[in-house]
Structure 1
Amino acid sequence: MEFTIQRDQLTNAINTVSKAVSSRTTIPILTGIKIVAHEDGVTLTASDSDVSIEQYIPMESGDHQWIENITPGSIVLPSRFFGEIVRKLPGEQVTISVNDRFVTTISSGRSEFNLNGMNAEDYPRLPQIEEDKVLSLPADLLKTMIRQTVFAVATTETRPILTGVMWNLSEGILSFVATDSHRLTTRKATVESTSELSFDNIIIPGKSLIELSKILPDDDQLVDLVITDNQILVKVSYVLFYSRILDGTYPDTSRIIPQNMKTEIILSTKEFLGAIERASLLARDGKNNVVRLFTRPDGVVELSSNTPEVGKVTEEVVPSSVDGEDVKISFNAKYMIDALRAVDSGEIRVEFTGAMSPFIIRPTEHDWILHLILPVRTNQ
């Protein structure tokens, strides 16, 4: 195998696929990046068994010649060394050649490295996915939906199913649901799809989605989603992103959303977020990062936090409106901050049903997002 490639193109491809390289694998070949040279371009692949990323670099694109002098072949190179070497090479072009003992020569300008490679035949094959169910949606929408839900997945493996985000598509409405059993977030969007295209209980690991969001562009170019029983494939320009789907049934979260609210407060998102961030400064080291909220007779919302060994803080927020009964409730400030940062609305509506009942945060500008947070029981 031999080819000469533009260093920037190779660096970008390495950065993309290396997100799937595992640092804690017991399979040595998975610490490497597989490189395959075809007659019309080069493909790089990395995998950690859960996530696999493949990027194709065409020989030419438009007026640009990315790759020259291709002799087809394949090799697996150790990711850590390969990436560092290419990033630090002096020239704009890189020549890679492999001999029959898998020794790879990487040269650029006056610099030359010899790197011991591995046989690409030993690299695990990517899943073969039947592309009969394809959903296309804008990249920036998918990226936003991930950002607005993935923070609420469970980070411990006590209930593995909760470490993923549940996807559902029905009648052109795509919905994401995430919960760690202390909070819940849902995000819906209208997408263009055929009436017969639907899926339910597709649970994708939160870690996979975080990596996917890093390679999604910030524009509205269409990405294709292909979903099977145990794998999802996302196709974006020259990149293929595979992730396993978690086994099991996601809990029915619709039953825990309160239907009868007793109090509704409408607040400026930015002002409320700033107040909670300040109120939580003294509580951060505490066990639950607890902030207390109560409504005063004059219509002002008061936030406070008291950590005896550190100190006390009180914040006042003037809401746009308060309707219903007085509220006195305690909650984990981090959960509230995460929700407010994800809400994407100038004002929010907070709905309470009692001191020990879950409360709901919704944007006032649209109804695509819902956050639910369980209160914290305190002695005060």
Structure 2
Amino acid sequence: MKIIATKEQLEAGTQTVNRAVSSKNTIPALSGIYLKTSPDNLVLKATDLEIGIECVIAAQANKEGEVVIPARYFTEIVKKSPDEQVEILVEDNYLVKISSGRSLFQIHGFAPHDFPNLPQPAERKIDWVNKDLLKTAIRQTIFATASSENRPVLTGVLYERKEQELVTVATDGHRLAYKNVEVANNPNNRNTVIIPTKTLQELNRLLANTEEETVGVIIENNQIFFDLGNVKIYSRLVEGQYPNYEGVIPKSSTIKVKLMNKIFADALERCSLLAKDGTNLVRINLEGNKLKIYSESPEIGQVYEEIDVESEGGTIEIGFNSRYLLEGLRAIEEEEVGLEMNSSLSPATLRPINSDNYLYVVMPVRLV
């Protein structure tokens, strides 16, 4: 079997699927990239059995065939190829010869039957979602997922597809990010699932490079599939019951503060320089239209900053983990944000002033 492709196409394909290659697995073929030829295209696949990525590129082949090539070497060989054209020749016993210009590599491949088949979803269940809306929904929630495996359901993002809206939610128990976007009515695709963080990280990376305006989403048999045209992502879902996020979101607030996102974020960053390690504690004191931010470290010193705000509902002194507040502010694109509170021990809410489709709930730190 002989394959001819441009370096540009082959490099794009290998880089796309390489992120799904297994680094720790007892099946040798999972450390490779699977190739399958057709007269005008080359299909590349990789999987670690949790996530799989498939990419189709333009290529010429003298016959149909398949092989698995060790990803670690294949991607680097293609990347460093000296010529704009790369030729791949697969001989008996899956000996792979890769040539470009005056360079020739010979590496041992794996038998294709050792590579697991990626699941094939039912196309009739496909749900088309706007690419930009999906990117925003991922960006504004994924950072709030838990990194610890103590509660596996919190390591993913809740994906709740309703008739005319898509809700994404993430929480690690200390803060919660909620995004609601309007989507086309699709009564046959109402689903509530938990998508692994790694899957959404890879999806977000690939969305940045696709020219497709919409993304096809299929959910079935504890799997989720994303169709980006010439790239497809397959992933297992996180099993378990997601906590009742609606019960965490405050229904009302007695104290409301209107402030400028960047001014508040910059002040928090400065004050967090002296925040105690671990808690990143900053104190916020609201008096009228003045919001004061304090931070101190017994070994280093203290810092104080004051910013102008608009407020109603009274005064309050409350503590926060500065990193949690900053990540919430960075997720909000609007210039003006609202900070809503009830007491120094109850959750606070950040939200854009002129939009009701995003909110960020953060638990305070008890002050002593």
TM-score where L is the length of structure 1: 0.94
How far did residue 217 of structure 1 move? Answer: 3.1
- How far, CA to CA, are the matches of 1:270 and 1:70 in structure 2? 58
Gaps of 5+ in 1: 59-66
The residue aligned with 2:264 is: 272
SS in 2 for 1:161: helix
**Who is 1:5 aligned against?**
5
Secondary structure of the structure 1 residue equivalent to 2:334? coil
1:204 paired residue number: 195
Check whether the contact 1:2–1:73 (CA below 8 A) recurs between aligned residues: no
**Distance of 2:27 and 2:42 partners within structure 1:** 24
Distance of 1:7 and 1:170 partners within structure 2: 43
Aligned-partner Cα distance in 2 for 1:34–1:185: 37
The equivalent residue for 2:305 is 315
2:147 touches 2:155 (CA, 8 Å); kept in 1?
yes
The one-letter code matched in structure 2 to 1:84 is E
Which moved further from structure 2: 161-170 or 126-135?
A: 126-135
1:293 is aligned to 284
Matches within 5 A, 1:228-247: 228-247=220-239
Distance 1:279 1:79 in 2: 46
Q: Equivalents in 2 of 1:242, 1:126: separation in Å? A: 8
Q: Distance in 1 between matches of 2:88 and 2:324?
A: 49
TM-score, normalised to structure 2, is 0.97
2:212·2:228 contact (CA, 8 Å) conserved in 1?
no
Distance 2:35 2:64 in 1: 10
1:128-207 maps to which residues of 2 (within 5 A)? 128-200=120-192, 202-207=193-198
**Number of corresponding residues:** 367
C-alpha spacing 1:131/1:304, structure 2 compared with 1 (3 Å)? same
Residue number among 194, 215, 235 corresponding to 2:206 in the alignment: 215
Residues 6, 94 of structure 1: 8 Å contact kept: yes
Partner of 2:336: 347
Q: What percent identity do the matched residue pairs reach?
A: 39
Amino acid corresponding to residue 291 of structure 1 in structure 2: V
Partner of 2:44: 44
Spell out structure 1 runs of 4+ moving beyond 6 A.
none
Contact 1:295 1:327 in 2 (8 A): yes
Do 2:40 and 2:60's aligned partners in 1 also have CA atoms closer than 8 Å?
no
Deviation of 1:84 after TM superposition, in Å, equals: 0.6
Question: Which residue of structure 1 aligns with residue 320 of structure 2?
Answer: 331
CA change 1:7–1:220 in 2 (3 A) is closer
Q: Deviations along 1:209-262, whole A, 9 cap, x unmatched?
A: 111111013666111111113111000020010111111110111112122311
CA distance in structure 1 between the partners assigned to 2:97 and 2:69 by the alignment: 11
Q: Secondary structure at the match of 1:309?
A: coil
**Which secondary structure does the structure 1 equivalent of 2:250 belong to?**
coil
Letter aligned with residue 239 of structure 2: D
In the alignment, what sits opposite 2:219? 227
How far has the Cα of 1:193 moved from its partner? 2.9
State how far apart, in whole Å, the 2-side matches of 1:350 and 1:232 are.
36
Structure 2 unaligned segments of length 5 or more: list them: none
Which whole-Å CA distance do the structure 1 matches of 2:188 and 2:80 have between them?
51
CA contact (8 A) 1:57 1:238 kept: yes
Contact in 2 for aligned 1:140/1:217 (Cα 8 Å): no
